[in-house]
Copies of this chain bind each other. A is one copy, B any other.
Amino acid sequence: MLNFESDYIEGAHPLILERLAQTNMEALSGYCVDRYCESAKEKIKAACKDKDAEVEFIVGGTQTNQLVIDSMLKPFEGVVACHTGHVSVHEAGAIEYTGHKVLTVPGHNGKMDAAELEKFIADFYADGNHEHMIYPGLVYISFPTEYGTIYSKNELTEIYRVCKKRKIPLFIDGARLGYGLSSPKNDLKLSDIAKLCDVFYIGGTKVGALCGEAIVFTHKNKPEHFVNLTKKHGALLAKGRLLGVQFDTLFTDDLYFKISQNAIDQAMKIKKALKEKGYKFLLDSPTNQQFVVMENSRLSSLKKHVQYGFWEKVDDTHTAIRFATSWATTDEKVEELIKVL
């Protein structure tokens, strides 16, 4: 059966497996203190064009959000996110579990509006009662968003301007960063991302790795004793080499970007074909997640041929479903999918 359920249904890019096998019997120290982690960090800093950046590797995305948010916030602060943000909805309360509130502003197809953010912060300070409230202490956005949308360079610049004005750090969740950067609609480079926020992460799990996210702290924002905090969160990987070798491979010869491009190319083929066939989309996504509005009556037969992601109920007779492509999606599978639809 065809499977477009998510962008993490396959294992790792073959080059990663190859490198893991080649380096397998080398004796290396644990906890990301090894030559592959070091090399990967240098390559990522070079790709970000930021030699002062500090890079740390973590296994998974929720864990990364939890750790970054908890370690960047002061105890009287919360994180501001879109009401549709991953940290707001789909992390089983992982942020609140660290003792911090998620403060929400509206999401527009997953995106935060700089003016609304500015008003939210201004309103907080205008409230006479704000000593009984949680201070906005970090702004969280995702790129691409949970809805596949991306920020333009202007939009991101504007959000970061608000953050800097209020001295609130900006955190970009890049679980699918490669797919955002490879979008035909995108006008941001990786080095722009590094400039326009205080911390972000480069998603590996959804972009070719077995697991792994690379946190990049820019502008000297790495929290004190970060290794200790990582351990306290249960997030310090013993065999750090697993993360080092993977990111070292992904950032050699632009592999990360090349394989991201494949996901986008395949997604655009699907989008074009479905538009021509008259399908309706929930929104105009320029990245690897495409959200199609289907009549409920069609779903039971569709389910027999292809696995897709349930997204949301649109109305009593329609449902939005998600087709996700990835680094691993082949031409054949996409053609088959188009045929099925």
A173 interface contact, C-beta 8 A? no
Known interface pairs A99-B99, A242-B211; A62-B234 also in contact (CB < 8 Å): yes
Least Cβ–Cβ distance between A238 and chain B, in angstroms: 5
- Asked whether, in the complex, the Cβ of A71 is within 8 Å of the Cβ of B63, the reply is no
- Asked whether, in the complex, the Cβ of B94 is within 8 Å of the Cβ of A96, the reply is no
Least Cβ–Cβ distance between A146 and chain B, in angstroms: 11
**A131 cross-chain contacts in B, Cβ below 8 A:** 92, 225, 227-228, 231
- Asked whether, in the complex, the Cβ of A67 is within 8 Å of the Cβ of B29, the reply is no
A200 to B309, CA, bound (A): 35
- Residue-wise interface mask of A (59-77) relative to B, using a CB-CB cutoff of 8 A (1 in contact, 0 not): 1111101110011001110
A294 interface contact, C-beta 8 A? no
**A21 cross-chain contacts in B, Cβ below 8 A:** 14, 17, 21
- Residue-wise interface mask of A (10-54) relative to B, using a CB-CB cutoff of 8 A (1 in contact, 0 not): 111010010011011111111000000000000000000000000
A237 interface contact, C-beta 8 A? yes
Minimal Cβ-Cβ distance residue in B for A9: B27
A164 interface contact, C-beta 8 A? no
- Asked whether, in the complex, the Cβ of A239 is within 8 Å of the Cβ of B210, the reply is yes
- Asked whether, in the complex, the Cβ of A225 is within 8 Å of the Cβ of B99, the reply is no
A62 to B231, CA, bound (A): 8
**A113 cross-chain contacts in B, Cβ below 8 A:** none
Which listed segment binds B: A132-140, A153-161, A178-186?
A132-140
Interface positions of A from 87 to 110, Cβ below 8 Å from B: 89-94, 96-97, 99-102
- Asked whether, in the complex, the Cβ of B328 is within 8 Å of the Cβ of A25, the reply is yes
Main secondary structure of the interface of A (DSSP, over half): loop
Which residue from B76, B78, B90, B102 sits with its C-beta under 8 Å from A133? B90
Which residue from B11, B132, B242 sits with its C-beta under 8 Å from A24? B11
Which residue from B60, B75, B231, B239 sits with its C-beta under 8 Å from A237? B60
A224 interface contact, C-beta 8 A? yes
- Asked whether, in the complex, the Cβ of A234 is within 8 Å of the Cβ of B66, the reply is yes
Least Cβ–Cβ distance between A264 and chain B, in angstroms: 19
**A14 cross-chain contacts in B, Cβ below 8 A:** 21, 24
- Asked whether, in the complex, the Cβ of B62 is within 8 Å of the Cβ of A59, the reply is no
A229 to B78, CA, bound (A): 13
**A225 cross-chain contacts in B, Cβ below 8 A:** 74, 76, 131, 135
**A307 cross-chain contacts in B, Cβ below 8 A:** 27, 29
**14 new A-B pairs (CB below 8 Å) besides A92-B132, A131-B231?**
A8-B30, A12-B24, A14-B21, A17-B24, A59-B59, A60-B236, A63-B235, A76-B93, A89-B133, A92-B133, A92-B134, A93-B99, A96-B100, A210-B239
A-B CB contact pairs (8 Å), 15 listed: A5-B27, A8-B239, A9-B29, A10-B24, A11-B24, A17-B21, A20-B210, A60-B237, A71-B75, A76-B228, A78-B96, A91-B232, A99-B99, A132-B231, A210-B239
Q: Residues of A with Cβ closer than 8 Å to B?
A: 3, 5-6, 8-12, 14, 17, 20-21, 23-30, 59-63, 65-67, 70-71, 74-76, 78, 89-94, 96-97, 99-102, 126-129, 131-135, 205-206, 210-211, 224-225, 227-229, 231-239, 241-242, 307, 310, 312-313, 328
